[in-house]
Structure 1
Amino acid sequence: MSSPAPAPLRSTALNREQRAEALAALSANGPTDEPLDVLVIGGGVTGAGIAVDAASRGLRTGIVEMGDWASGTSSWSSKLIHGGLRYLYQANFALVHEALTERGRLLTSNAPHLVKAQPFLWPLKHHYERTYSAIGVGMYDALAVAGARGHKTVPIQKHLGKKGTAALAPALDTSHLAGTIRFYDARVDDSRLVIDLVRTAVGLGAHAANRTRVTGFLKDGEGRVTGVTATDLAAGEEIRIRATRTINATGVWTEEVQDMATTEGGLKVLASKGIHIVVPKTAIDAETGIFLRTEKSVLFIIPWPEYWVIGTTDTPWTEDVAKPVATSADIDYVLEHANSVLTRPIRREDIIGVYAGLRPLLQPRLKPGAKAASTKVSREHTVTRVAPGLTAIAGGKLTTYRVMGVDAVDHALGEALAHAHPSRTENLPLVGAEGYEELAGRAAQLAAERDWTLARITHLLDRYGDETADILELIDADAAAEDSQRLGEPLTNAPAYLRAEVAWAVTHEGAEHLEDVLLHRVRLDISHRDRGLSAAEEILGIMAPLLHWSDNDAASELASYTERVEQIAAAEAETTDADAVAKVTRSI
Structure 2
Amino acid sequence: MSNPTWINAQSRQQGLERLADHTVDVAVVGGGITGVGVALDAASRGLSVALLEGRDLGSGTSGYSSKLVHGGLRYLAKMDLAVAWESAVERHRLMSRTAPHLIHPLAFVIPEMVDTPRGEAALTGTGVGIYDVLRRAARTRGSVLPRPQLLSGPAVSALVPALDPAAVRRGLMYWDGQVDDDVRLVLAVARTAAGLGAHVLRDVRVTEMTGATVAAVDTRTGHSLSVRAGAVVNATGVWAADFAPELAVTASRGTHLVVRSERLGHPRAAHTVAVPGRFGRYVFVLPQPSGYVYIGLTDEEDRISDGHRPTVPDQDVEFLLGIVNTTLGAPLTREDVVGTFAGLRPLVRPAGTQPDAGTADISRRHLVRDVPGEPITVVGGKLTTYRRMAQDAVDAAAARLGVDRRSRTARMPLVGAAGPAELAGVTAPRRMVDRYGTEAARVQALARDEPWLGDEIVEGTGFTGAELLFGVQAEGAATVEDLLARRTRLAFVPEDAERARDVAERVLELAAGTRPAGVVHTQRTSGAER
Same fold (TM over 0.5): yes
**1:100 to 2:65 alignment:** no
| 2:268 aligned to which of 271, 287, 298 | 287
Alpha carbons 2:206, 2:214 under 8 Å: kept: yes
Corresponding residue for 1:311? Answer: 296
SS in 2 for 1:243: strand
Corresponding residue for 1:395? Answer: 380
CA distance in 2, matches of 1:15, 1:246: 24
Corresponding residue for 2:15? Answer: 22
**1:437 to 2:420 alignment:** yes
Supply the RMSD in Å over aligned alpha carbons.
2.2
**C-alpha distance after superposition, 1:12-61 (max 9, x if no partner):** 011100111111122223xxxxx211111100001111111111111111
| Structure 1 residues 364 and 389: CA distance shift in structure 2, 3 A | closer
**C-alpha distance after superposition, 1:206-262 (max 9, x if no partner):** 0110111111235xxxxxx32111111111111110001001010110011235xxx
Q: Which runs of 5+ in 2 are unaligned?
A: 517-530
Q: Once the 2 structures are TM-superposed, how far is the Cα of residue 77 of structure 1 from its aligned partner?
A: 0.8
Corresponding residue for 2:436? Answer: 464
Corresponding residue for 2:521? Answer: none
CA distance in 1, matches of 2:344, 2:461: 31
**C-alpha distance after superposition, 1:165-201 (max 9, x if no partner):** 1222221124333311001111111111101111110
Specify the code of the residue in structure 2 equivalent to 1:180: G
* Equivalence map 1:503-522=2 (5 Å): 503-522=469-488
Q: Once the 2 structures are TM-superposed, how far is the Cα of residue 466 of structure 1 from its aligned partner?
A: 0.3
CA distance in 2, matches of 1:475, 1:145: 44
**C-alpha distance after superposition, 1:99-136 (max 9, x if no partner):** 01111111111001111110010122244434322211
| 2:511 aligned to which of 533, 543, 546 | 546
Q: Once the 2 structures are TM-superposed, how far is the Cα of residue 525 of structure 1 from its aligned partner?
A: 0.5
Alpha carbons 1:10, 1:205 under 8 Å: kept: no
**1:169 to 2:160 alignment:** yes
| 1:385 aligned to which of 359, 362, 370 | 370
Q: Once the 2 structures are TM-superposed, how far is the Cα of residue 275 of structure 1 from its aligned partner?
A: 0.6
**After the TM superposition, which of the residue ranges 387-396 and 50-59 deviates more from structure 2?**
387-396
Corresponding residue for 2:326? Answer: 340
**1:252 to 2:233 alignment:** no
Q: Once the 2 structures are TM-superposed, how far is the Cα of residue 94 of structure 1 from its aligned partner?
A: 1.9
Q: Once the 2 structures are TM-superposed, how far is the Cα of residue 529 of structure 1 from its aligned partner?
A: 4.2
| 1:533 aligned to which of 478, 481, 498 | 498
Alpha carbons 2:238, 2:344 under 8 Å: kept: yes
Alpha carbons 1:494, 1:535 under 8 Å: kept: no
Q: Once the 2 structures are TM-superposed, how far is the Cα of residue 405 of structure 1 from its aligned partner?
A: 0.6
CA distance in 2, matches of 1:524, 1:473: 22
| 2:463 aligned to which of 491, 497, 508 | 497
CA distance in 1, matches of 2:409, 2:312: 36
Matched positions, count: 505
Q: Once the 2 structures are TM-superposed, how far is the Cα of residue 402 of structure 1 from its aligned partner?
A: 0.4
SS in 2 for 1:310: strand
* Equivalence map 1:417-436=2 (5 Å): 417=402, 420-434=404-418
SS in 1 for 2:370: strand
CA distance in 2, matches of 1:340, 1:494: 30
| 1:52 aligned to which of 40, 62, 67 | 40
**1:357 to 2:343 alignment:** yes
CA distance in 1, matches of 2:3, 2:42: 16
SS in 2 for 1:13: coil
Corresponding residue for 1:198? Answer: 190
**Which 4+ stretches in 1 moved above 6 angstroms?**
none
Q: Once the 2 structures are TM-superposed, how far is the Cα of residue 502 of structure 1 from its aligned partner?
A: 0.9
| Structure 1 residues 473 and 250: CA distance shift in structure 2, 3 A | same
SS in 2 for 1:332: helix
| 1:272 aligned to which of 224, 241, 252 | 252
| 2:28 aligned to which of 29, 35, 40 | 40
Corresponding residue for 1:158? Answer: 149
| Structure 1 residues 382 and 492: CA distance shift in structure 2, 3 A | closer
| Structure 1 residues 87 and 492: CA distance shift in structure 2, 3 A | closer
Specify the code of the residue in structure 2 equivalent to 1:18: S
CA distance in 2, matches of 1:174, 1:131: 21
Q: Once the 2 structures are TM-superposed, how far is the Cα of residue 492 of structure 1 from its aligned partner?
A: 5.0
CA distance in 2, matches of 1:177, 1:232: 57
Q: Which runs of 5+ in 1 are unaligned?
A: 1-8, 30-34, 219-224, 260-264, 448-456, 552-588
* TM-score calculated relative to the size of structure 1: 0.82
Corresponding residue for 1:207? Answer: 199
* TM-score calculated relative to the size of structure 2: 0.91
Q: Once the 2 structures are TM-superposed, how far is the Cα of residue 161 of structure 1 from its aligned partner?
A: 2.2
CA distance in 1, matches of 2:400, 2:474: 37
**1:185 to 2:176 alignment:** yes
* Equivalence map 1:57-136=2 (5 Å): 57-124=45-112, 125-136=116-127
